[in-house]
Copies of this chain bind each other. A is one copy, B any other.
Amino acid sequence: MIKYREIASYIRDKIISGDWYYGMRIPTQRQLANQFEVNRVTIIKSIEILEAEGFVFTKMGSGTYVNDYLDEDFISNKWSEMMDWSLSLRSQYTVQLINKLEADNSYIHISKGELGIDLIPHLELKNAMTNVSKYIGELSFGYNNGYGYIKLRELIANRLSSEGINVTSDNVLITSGALHAIQLLVTGFLSRNTLIFSNTPSYIDSTHVFDYSNMKKVKIPYNNFTEFYSIVNHYPGIKEKAIYVDPTFNNPTGSSLSIKEKESIMTCSKLHNIPIIEDDIYRDIWIDSKPECPIKALDTNGNVIHISSFSKSIAPAIRIGWVIASEKIIEQLADIRMQIDYGSSILSQMVVYELLKNGDYDNHTNRLRKILKDKRDYMLNILDKEFSTLAQWNVPEGGFFIWLTLEKDINIKRLFSELINKEKILLNPGFIYGSEDNTVRLSYAFESKENINYSLKKIKQYVMKS
């Protein structure tokens, strides 16, 4: 096709698709010339065609605009209007920005909540895929019943007995990650009147998963779970209540609940008959010593739903997590999945099954723990040297994060924005996790030591300046 016709066709498609809409100024001739690597004469020719067709009009000295090219009863794209009526909430602006920049490899991701590329078990995944492909011919590949791949469910149930959770495959449902598990629980069990007691700071506060309708959230400070009783006691009249807690290597603070705190939550749950969602996604990522038992292991009446995932220990992109609950709850969740998405990808489930079965998962996590210990200590060492007068932090015993509380006069929003714009460093501010202090989340899991060193020193420069 002749180049100017091709460009005219590109612009026409943008208008027809609704991406460029009535009244919108299209990119300048210069911008279009750069985009298509042509001179401006070619762009002018394209625009003349579209003007003749009535798709655009040009205001002298102002630019070219999308015309009201349809007949009179044309009204612009209705979907945009409906977006505003919907109950679903957009992510916080900062979270949207982080989600967008996290996909950009030109940034240093010093807060990222996932394993670095060098820590992904690529070889093990490759072997697992090869094994799966050997018996792929025997698989029906049909719609499953919403519960997930039975062999994976059996294996997960068996493995959990070493954590003190005694269940069978009937108590296991496979999800597309832990957040997805929470979403299913919200859909199946919570109502718009539910009051959620959720620990804070929390990864959950960077999402809207519990902001459904006028559902209310009461935050319980992670470092003061002894207040638990009295906080819960403030809401005696409300029937529908649930507790959300991530007891092991909390995201973002890296802290864990002690066994006493877990027991106290169980007692409170029993006394007030409040069910618990236990998000235990970082359990396998311990560094110094194996964590104490999950809350689910203390459960005596099925009030605890235990969720976890392989996103932190294998890779997020395989999208495999799980829910442990009593059979009736699992049955309800499976029914919901048959209405929402018919379960998770069988390929991912089988690949994870192979990794677990042949011991590769355990070998990989053993190796992972050593590397993460080394990287954590490396980061702590730099912090000790560079930040001792500027900030305070904890020493996490597992997980991916160090939680830094900076001195009060430092403007976190400006720090976040300057690091992005001037240094291409993505540092997640604590306020997206509900923190009201001057906090940031650092991750030793994703970047190389070199980048950890480089970015911490850059961060220090900007902290010193403010």
Say yes or no: is A17 at the interface (Cβ < 8 Å to chain B): yes
Which chain B residue lies CB-closest to A95? B338
- Neighbouring B residues of A301 by C-beta, 8 Å: 16, 18, 70, 74, 76-77
Report yes or no: A315 in contact with B141, Cβ–Cβ below 8 A: yes
Report yes or no: B133 in contact with A120, Cβ–Cβ below 8 A: no
Contact of A319 among B103, B130, B341 (CB under 8 A): B341
Say yes or no: is A275 at the interface (Cβ < 8 Å to chain B): yes
Report yes or no: A303 in contact with B73, Cβ–Cβ below 8 A: no
Within 8 A of B (CB), among A318-333: 318-320, 325-329, 332
User: How would residues 55 to 68 of chain A score, 1 for a CB under 8 Å from any chain B CB and 0 otherwise?
Assistant: 00000000000000
Say yes or no: is A26 at the interface (Cβ < 8 Å to chain B): no
Of A87, A96, A142, A208, the most chain B CB neighbours within 10 A belong to: A142
Instruction: State the CA gap A414–B113 with chains docked (Å).
Output: 55
Could you tell me the distance in whole angstroms from the C-beta of A296 to the nearest C-beta in chain B? 10
Report yes or no: A345 in contact with B319, Cβ–Cβ below 8 A: yes
Contact of A120 among B140, B187, B208, B316 (CB under 8 A): B140
Say yes or no: is A192 at the interface (Cβ < 8 Å to chain B): yes
Say yes or no: is A344 at the interface (Cβ < 8 Å to chain B): yes
Say yes or no: is A302 at the interface (Cβ < 8 Å to chain B): yes
User: How would residues 67 to 111 of chain A score, 1 for a CB under 8 Å from any chain B CB and 0 otherwise?
Assistant: 000100111111110110111101100001001101100000000
- Count A interface residues, CB 8 Å: 113
Which chain B residue lies CB-closest to A120? B141
Report yes or no: B335 in contact with A83, Cβ–Cβ below 8 A: no
Contact of A137 among B85, B122, B142, B273 (CB under 8 A): B122
Say yes or no: is A179 at the interface (Cβ < 8 Å to chain B): yes
Report yes or no: A145 in contact with B303, Cβ–Cβ below 8 A: no
Please tell me how many copies of the chain the complex holds.
Answer: 2
Report yes or no: A332 in contact with B139, Cβ–Cβ below 8 A: no
- Neighbouring B residues of A183 by C-beta, 8 Å: 339-341
Instruction: State the CA gap A341–B78 with chains docked (Å).
Output: 27
Contact of A351 among B190, B344, B347 (CB under 8 A): B347
Instruction: State the CA gap A167–B209 with chains docked (Å).
Output: 32
Report yes or no: A86 in contact with B190, Cβ–Cβ below 8 A: yes
Could you tell me the distance in whole angstroms from the C-beta of A309 to the nearest C-beta in chain B? 10
Report yes or no: B77 in contact with A302, Cβ–Cβ below 8 A: yes
Which chain B residue lies CB-closest to A78? B275
Which chain B residue lies CB-closest to A351? B347
Say yes or no: is A343 at the interface (Cβ < 8 Å to chain B): yes
Report yes or no: B335 in contact with A90, Cβ–Cβ below 8 A: yes
Contact of A91 among B137, B194, B317, B335 (CB under 8 A): B335
Could you tell me the distance in whole angstroms from the C-beta of A203 to the nearest C-beta in chain B? 12
- Neighbouring B residues of A177 by C-beta, 8 Å: 341-342
Say yes or no: is A305 at the interface (Cβ < 8 Å to chain B): yes
Which chain B residue lies CB-closest to A185? B79
Say yes or no: is A2 at the interface (Cβ < 8 Å to chain B): no
Report yes or no: B328 in contact with A86, Cβ–Cβ below 8 A: no
- Neighbouring B residues of A130 by C-beta, 8 Å: 130, 133
Say yes or no: is A464 at the interface (Cβ < 8 Å to chain B): no
A residues whose Cβ falls under 8 Å from a Cβ of B: 13, 16-19, 21, 70, 73-80, 82-83, 85-88, 90-91, 96, 99-100, 102-103, 112-114, 117, 120, 122-123, 125-126, 129-130, 132-133, 136-137, 139-146, 166-168, 170-171, 175-177, 179-180, 183, 187-194, 207-209, 240, 242, 270-271, 273-275, 299-303, 305, 311, 315-320, 325-329, 332, 335-336, 338-348, 351
Question: What would be 11 A-B contacts, judged by CB atoms less than 8 Å apart?
Answer: A16-B301, A17-B326, A79-B302, A79-B329, A90-B332, A139-B317, A183-B340, A208-B339, A209-B339, A344-B345, A348-B348
Known A74-B301, A79-B305, A208-B339; 20 more pairs at CB < 8 Å: A16-B166, A16-B299, A18-B301, A73-B270, A79-B302, A79-B325, A79-B328, A82-B191, A82-B275, A88-B336, A91-B339, A117-B142, A125-B136, A125-B141, A129-B129, A130-B130, A141-B317, A179-B339, A207-B339, A318-B345
